[in-house]
Structure 1
């Protein structure tokens, strides 16, 4: 082995050393996306954000159901001196007081969304014993009492919760799907960065072998004066540059591989080989259809609707609080009092309670009016911002759809260009070997082949990035025609 070939062998071993002892894995784009959705840290974070919103919505739903509460005071004892009015002497006097109390109540409540009131059904039992000169015990009971509390002209929070909370949950759910499609975008980008790095590395290795062969052939042809000294030096320079390029390509490959492995949660020394996706199926996406789906599903549109509703809620609350307030509370039931427990539920007396209260602001120096105007102005600002945000989102959808439809034709062109460049380079190389092509033609043909390879991978990358961005913006799979939100509900039994 001559010194030149020995150096080539050493360089090859050094380049391969970082890959020795690594766990090897072959990945397709679909598999990479599935792994990212299942085990990446970004996906884990998104799942926990969704669960937080999910349980918030479950709490709201539970709040609409009847609630049952048991309140107990097992023992309450106090001994103190208190002020009392003495009717005989017509004076306030201080007297000692010592007593024991125990009691409890069981209450069921149900909110009434339509009017904002609350129905309640309860039962009470209490016991008191006084000590001292007049020692006595008493029991009191309310076996059953049914009532209703209602603010007549006030703010109804239940009505607004019924509008906003389901929308918030829908937004949280679709934000999760949106973010998971964003994860697909990220892993697609990492995938094709590594694919490009692998292609560059493979091209660099091929280029080293090719330039070495051409240099050896050039030396033989130079010996018979078939090429000039300048052409031979150019071939030698190409061989040296090819080895330098190979080393740089190997470093870039390591970085890209580590980046993808880290994103997917693999061991840092995992060696990943990618299998590029084939030619994608032709999918024609209509701009109008994409806009309709985006307005319906995109969480950003839902967020804008939520902001408008919340601003309207604040305005409604402020307007109601600026008026006079009136409330009513009514209950009907039974009660009794006795010094014996076995009589406290006998001969029950009817208990009727009706209460109406009114609060009228007379002078507040314009505070309530100012708050109402602030809320109205804030609503106007939110509506304008919502319209601007909608226009911006619609523009993003339109541009993405246009780019996606264009990328499909560009892949066909890039694939055709790659086939032509490879055939042209193979023929030019063969002609150079037999002395029918010069070094400039060979170099130009080789550069065109490498550029065509890069353009093809870039076209694939742009296509799939546009594809997943459209899915993200519309939450719709245009290949199958299935809504991603409906698919999510079906998979999770929602």
Structure 2
């Protein structure tokens, strides 16, 4: 008896020494909070969101006036240039040397409604010629106002205004969606460790119980109360229990490492799972889940984006296939003088109007083919979106229905576990006093193990179903509010 007690104690000592000095008790909610805040997956999700956030900020900034400075500090040129010699009526090459410098400051504003660009600028240039005739000139444009516009072309600004806010809203929903995916992964790892811990505890209890029963069996065998076959079975059970304990401990270490690694926990802290209490009943109407999914699920926004992008491509190819004209207008003042001061004195009016046209005449059907391809792509996109939305609705209906079933499964699994524990304790006591055989005891122990596994599995399936519904709808049914409150709390400024 003493040797076996020492063996059990030794196993526990080895178990504790291998696992480090400290334990960190974790509930399911704590594990999810740690994962969504500190895990490597959460870091990746946050950076993906920030990429889309800065893309949206860039879009918003492009709608504001921009100030630009274009400078050519120095441009020196020395080359042979062909010139006409009027005295000899011939062309000759002459050496030409020049120095040029210029600067331009402009304010530009893009217009979404028209797709054009409005600008105001000011320019100053300096030119010096070297050679037989040396001279210097300053050229100034004190102010110039202009506008450029594609009269019949594709308005990219208009489509960006449609798409970019939608893409950013989708990015926010995808961030929340990814957070719920992290929660699902945590649930799998959490209950995997919970199952491993439960099996380890049962294995430890089984080692102690089998050793005790083996000692009792030896005493009963001495008085011929049990057969040699039962005695050998008890001994075999004790050996198998110790072997099972070693295997279970390996699986426990794997499960512990998996959760610790995912949560990015300190190496000196090992998680110890706190099995959650049975949850309170939650009723989720299917109609409500479908409505919330259409409002919040990023897949619906992705579908809208796909349709808009396909429509944009149709418009772009049609505009490129047809007549197009570009308009450029500017009005301002300029002057040329040998000094800077004189270059800004009495400026002359400068006006420019330019219209360029592109008229397709013959391209052997290339443009028509591109237009038809874009239209077909739009039709395909609409059909694909319809199929995906039908599949998503079906997934929501199945998940909500499964959630209702899982709530009932928890209650029955909990009741079965209580009965199995009570039955094993009663059978064990009956065996000790000689009123039950070894087969009944083994069967009762196996039923207790199965009931424990079924209860943990029922809890896992319940929480997986619940968080899948949260993921699909981005709605907290316990608090009865959209998960956007999490986003607003973490990112108060857009």
- TM-score (normalised: structure 2): 0.94
Contact 2:4/2:211 (CA < 8 Å) preserved in 1?
no
Q: Which residue of 2 aligns with 1:99?
A: 98
Q: Which residue of 2 aligns with 1:10?
A: 7
Q: Post-superposition shift, 1:239?
A: 2.2
Q: Post-superposition shift, 1:328?
A: 1.1
Contact 1:258/1:269 (CA < 8 Å) preserved in 2?
no
How far apart, in 2, do the equivalents of 1:425 and 1:211 lie? 13
Residue-by-residue CA offset, 1:337-393 (whole Å, 9 max, x unaligned):
222322222222222211112110111111111111111112222222222222222
The answer to whether structure 1 residue 332 and structure 2 residue 324 are counterparts is: no
Q: Which residue of 1 aligns with 2:321?
A: 322
Q: Post-superposition shift, 1:97?
A: 2.2
Q: Post-superposition shift, 1:233?
A: 2.8
Q: Which residue of 1 aligns with 2:175?
A: 176
Q: Which residue of 1 aligns with 2:452?
A: 453
How far apart, in 2, do the equivalents of 1:127 and 1:236 lie? 105
Q: Which residue of 1 aligns with 2:163?
A: 164
Q: CA 1:81–1:433 in 2, change beyond 3 Å: closer, same or farther?
A: same
Contact 1:151/1:328 (CA < 8 Å) preserved in 2?
yes
How far apart, in 2, do the equivalents of 1:78 and 1:252 lie? 78
Q: Post-superposition shift, 1:87?
A: 6.0
Q: Post-superposition shift, 1:203?
A: 0.7
Q: Which residue of 2 aligns with 1:468?
A: 467
Contact 1:64/1:111 (CA < 8 Å) preserved in 2?
yes
Provide the secondary structure at the position in 2 that maps to 1:81. Answer: strand
Residue-by-residue CA offset, 1:65-117 (whole Å, 9 max, x unaligned):
11111111222222222123456766544333222222111111110001100
Q: Post-superposition shift, 1:64?
A: 1.5
Q: Which residue of 1 aligns with 2:190?
A: 191
How far apart, in 2, do the equivalents of 1:327 and 1:85 lie? 37
- Is the deviation greater in 317-326 or in 76-85? 76-85
Structure 1 stretches lacking a partner, 5+ long:
none
Q: CA 1:478–1:413 in 2, change beyond 3 Å: closer, same or farther?
A: same
Q: Post-superposition shift, 1:268?
A: 4.8
Q: Give the CA RMSD over aligned residues.
A: 2.0
1:400-415 superposed matches below 5 A: 400-415=399-414
Contact 2:111/2:118 (CA < 8 Å) preserved in 1?
yes
Q: CA 1:26–1:254 in 2, change beyond 3 Å: closer, same or farther?
A: same
Q: CA 1:15–1:102 in 2, change beyond 3 Å: closer, same or farther?
A: same
Q: Which residue of 2 aligns with 1:63?
A: 62
- Is the deviation greater in 339-348 or in 217-226? 217-226
How far apart, in 2, do the equivalents of 1:243 and 1:73 lie? 84
Q: Which residue of 2 aligns with 1:377?
A: 376
Contact 1:432/1:442 (CA < 8 Å) preserved in 2?
yes
Q: Which residue of 1 aligns with 2:77?
A: 78
Residue-by-residue CA offset, 1:452-477 (whole Å, 9 max, x unaligned):
11111111111111122111222111
Q: Post-superposition shift, 1:222?
A: 3.3
Q: Post-superposition shift, 1:209?
A: 1.6
How far apart, in 2, do the equivalents of 1:212 and 1:106 lie? 91
- Is the deviation greater in 20-29 or in 77-86? 77-86
Provide the secondary structure at the position in 2 that maps to 1:319. Answer: helix
- Is the deviation greater in 146-155 or in 84-93? 84-93
How far apart, in 2, do the equivalents of 1:245 and 1:268 lie? 27
Residue-by-residue CA offset, 1:43-65 (whole Å, 9 max, x unaligned):
12222222222212211211111
Residue-by-residue CA offset, 1:6-27 (whole Å, 9 max, x unaligned):
2552354145414214332211
Contact 1:154/1:320 (CA < 8 Å) preserved in 2?
yes
Q: Post-superposition shift, 1:269?
A: 6.1
Provide the secondary structure at the position in 2 that maps to 1:163. Answer: helix
Q: Post-superposition shift, 1:150?
A: 0.6
Contact 2:143/2:332 (CA < 8 Å) preserved in 1?
yes
Q: Post-superposition shift, 1:326?
A: 0.9
Residue-by-residue CA offset, 1:435-487 (whole Å, 9 max, x unaligned):
33333332222222221111111111111111221112221111112222243
- Is the deviation greater in 223-232 or in 273-282? 223-232
How far apart, in 2, do the equivalents of 1:131 and 1:253 lie? 87
Contact 1:107/1:121 (CA < 8 Å) preserved in 2?
yes
How far apart, in 1, do the equivalents of 2:6 and 2:89 lie? 118
Contact 2:214/2:235 (CA < 8 Å) preserved in 1?
yes
Q: CA 1:461–1:347 in 2, change beyond 3 Å: closer, same or farther?
A: same
Residue-by-residue CA offset, 1:374-422 (whole Å, 9 max, x unaligned):
1111222222222222222222222111111211111111111111222
Q: Post-superposition shift, 1:157?
A: 0.5
- Is the deviation greater in 373-382 or in 218-227? 218-227
How many pairs were matched up?
Answer: 491
Q: Which residue of 1 aligns with 2:207?
A: 208
How far apart, in 2, do the equivalents of 1:88 and 1:341 lie? 36
Structure 2 stretches lacking a partner, 5+ long:
none
Q: Which residue of 1 aligns with 2:251?
A: 252
- Is the deviation greater in 223-232 or in 460-469? 223-232
Provide the secondary structure at the position in 2 that maps to 1:65. Answer: coil
Residue-by-residue CA offset, 1:191-217 (whole Å, 9 max, x unaligned):
111100010010111112222222222
Residue-by-residue CA offset, 1:283-313 (whole Å, 9 max, x unaligned):
1112222222222222222222222222221
Q: Which residue of 2 aligns with 1:46?
A: 45
How far apart, in 1, do the equivalents of 2:463 and 2:299 lie? 22
1:266-305 superposed matches below 5 A: 266-268=265-267, 270-305=269-304
Contact 2:8/2:208 (CA < 8 Å) preserved in 1?
no
